[in-house]
Structure 1
């Protein structure tokens, strides 16, 4: 019986993978930063474009220029670093205002082109009040203390409501996440035509956060997963399983991540999540952490997910 179940799992995974590979890609993703700390030049930032489009939206912006430099060196772009930063990036979606998710945007603002910044109201309020205030940094926003330089227009996303991303063929829906006491984070559901990509900013598990944010998100995803319209999920695993719950600070471990995706599998059906590409983000690069997190995810992946560990500057197509 066990052998028959394993064989069925293998057949389903191969079938899902074959269908995914035979279909044309819907998204191109260039990771500009993949770490969850310590590595100042490699912090959370992911460029996303509709396949074949040169126009990208940046999901978080912890590190920009170092990631673009690596992407140009690896031939992900046939353009200069400055051209990518100023012209190819059409805007930013910020999941939350922690520095490891916004530092690249702040540091490159003086040389950036005018473009929108999208986010939930609480995130944009912090960016405007605590960064663009002429004390922490010049006011590159469109509000706050004068003079407002109006380089960035801060555009508030309404949870669950689809918003077109200017100068791209993409649109986005935002879903609130819980990232520890007093900090709201965001999941961005990006659409290109009939295809979707989900990027989660930092988040804790519902059971630890005493919340239902992830459960509500999974419910919204069920029809997309069942219709094979969800092409990839980007989700964090910051600490190994041994990290005490009191020291997670609104983050996930491999066990918590797989438990949460198990909830999605239970809602949508286990068969339809097998082979689903899951990109692991925000690994804390403390000594030994990364290898252990990868090993724990791989060993306990009974859901049959296609686990992907992104590399800075290396394009991924979905």
Structure 2
């Protein structure tokens, strides 16, 4: 980040009136919530601790359109035209308030916004599994698909992004966000995806990239993630999680391509309940439903159908939340 960028970030931060809190909680802003089709509203979230001013990007399918919508909705009250100068408010959020990115896997609907906006971005790190970072290096930042804005790989390295692949299961610092993270592997229709467990002080939050159910993926990855989150719930640290539910229950299992339905998510959350202490242990847990696939069929409303199907089967007491692009929530 340039000196001007640092000054702008400090000015914006000062407007927050932040103070260190032993249990601060998190703020999440949705920059994109859909799982494909609509290129302006693809999976992308921002998260920060309530005692920090800068955000971590959780995937980056749509970035600048989502920032614009979030500004319209008042999700960045600390950002004004005055304290953003010489940037626009959208530019100030993009360049100064997003301090790093976590990319869950290499599919285009989770990183297109980052790629397209990279010529205007400030220097920052990108974190992901070794498979994801290798995909970015080989197939995106390679001067064939896009100029190499990273610090490794082929051709001239422009160095905007520092690519990092921390060891799975090992805690690490997430840039200048003040957050720590642990990456857990997921299985997504034959490719690797990942979950990030974010932590700050004594609070945690889980972000899941695309994932299929263990039963269909013939995997134990979700089981390992549930074991970890079960312990977080027992210790009263887990503030919430974001997980996909891409298709309705009417979708045949052989056409899910590594995604979840309401029935499969509820099935998986039952396993989490077992690890969290048994019946009733998930009551009130905030679960944001992400990556719903829009339909181009007249009269179809997958979001409404998925919401109804989750609520009908919800004997866990989970609080299912459906964010729209630009929304912000406190956890």
Name the TM-score, length of structure 1 as normaliser.
Answer: 0.91
**Residues 23 and 202, structure 2, Cα contact 8 Å, conserved in 1:** no
252, 255, 258: which one aligns with 1:247: 255
Question: For residue 6 of structure 1, what is the aligned residue in structure 2?
Answer: none
Rounded Cα–Cα distance in structure 1 between residues aligned with 2:279 and 2:173: 32
Range 125-134 or range 222-231, more displaced: 222-231
RMSD between aligned residues: 1.2
Rounded Cα–Cα distance in structure 2 between residues aligned with 1:34 and 1:60: 11
122, 144, 157: which one aligns with 1:135: 144
Cα drift, residue 288 of structure 1:
2.3
Rounded Cα–Cα distance in structure 1 between residues aligned with 2:116 and 2:99: 17
Question: For residue 75 of structure 1, what is the aligned residue in structure 2?
Answer: 74
Question: For residue 47 of structure 2, what is the aligned residue in structure 1?
Answer: 48
Match of 2:119, SS state, is helix
Question: For residue 109 of structure 1, what is the aligned residue in structure 2?
Answer: 118
Q: What is the aligned length?
A: 295
Cα drift, residue 24 of structure 1:
6.8
Question: For residue 123 of structure 1, what is the aligned residue in structure 2?
Answer: 132
**Please, which runs of 5 or more residues in structure 2 have no aligned partner?**
1-21, 80-88
Match of 1:222, SS state, is helix
199, 211, 216: which one aligns with 1:208: 216
* 2:294 maps to 1:281: no
Cα drift, residue 193 of structure 1:
0.7
**Residues 25 and 317, structure 1, Cα contact 8 Å, conserved in 2:** no
242, 246, 249: which one aligns with 1:238: 246
**Residues 100 and 177, structure 2, Cα contact 8 Å, conserved in 1:** no
| 1:263-274 equivalences in 2 (<5 Å) | 263-268=271-276, 269-274=278-283
Cα drift, residue 52 of structure 1:
3.7
Match of 2:194, SS state, is strand
1:227-284 CA-partner distances (Å, limit 9, x unpaired): 2210001111000011111100000000000100000101222222111001100011
| 1:84-99 equivalences in 2 (<5 Å) | 84-99=93-108
Range 296-305 or range 221-230, more displaced: 221-230
202, 219, 236: which one aligns with 1:194: 202
**Please, which runs of 5 or more residues in structure 1 have no aligned partner?**
1-22
Rounded Cα–Cα distance in structure 2 between residues aligned with 1:246 and 1:47: 32
If each structure's helix is expressed as a fraction of its own residues, which one has the higher value?
A: 1
| 1:105-184 equivalences in 2 (<5 Å) | 105-181=114-190, 183-184=191-192
1:198-231 CA-partner distances (Å, limit 9, x unpaired): 0100000000000000001111122211122100
Rounded Cα–Cα distance in structure 1 between residues aligned with 2:73 and 2:24: 20
* 2:71 maps to 1:62: no
| 1:6-21 equivalences in 2 (<5 Å) | none
**Residues 140 and 151, structure 1, Cα contact 8 Å, conserved in 2:** yes
1:118-165 CA-partner distances (Å, limit 9, x unpaired): 000000101011000000000011111121111100001211101101
1:82-113 CA-partner distances (Å, limit 9, x unpaired): 00000000010000010000000001000000
Rounded Cα–Cα distance in structure 2 between residues aligned with 1:308 and 1:257: 14
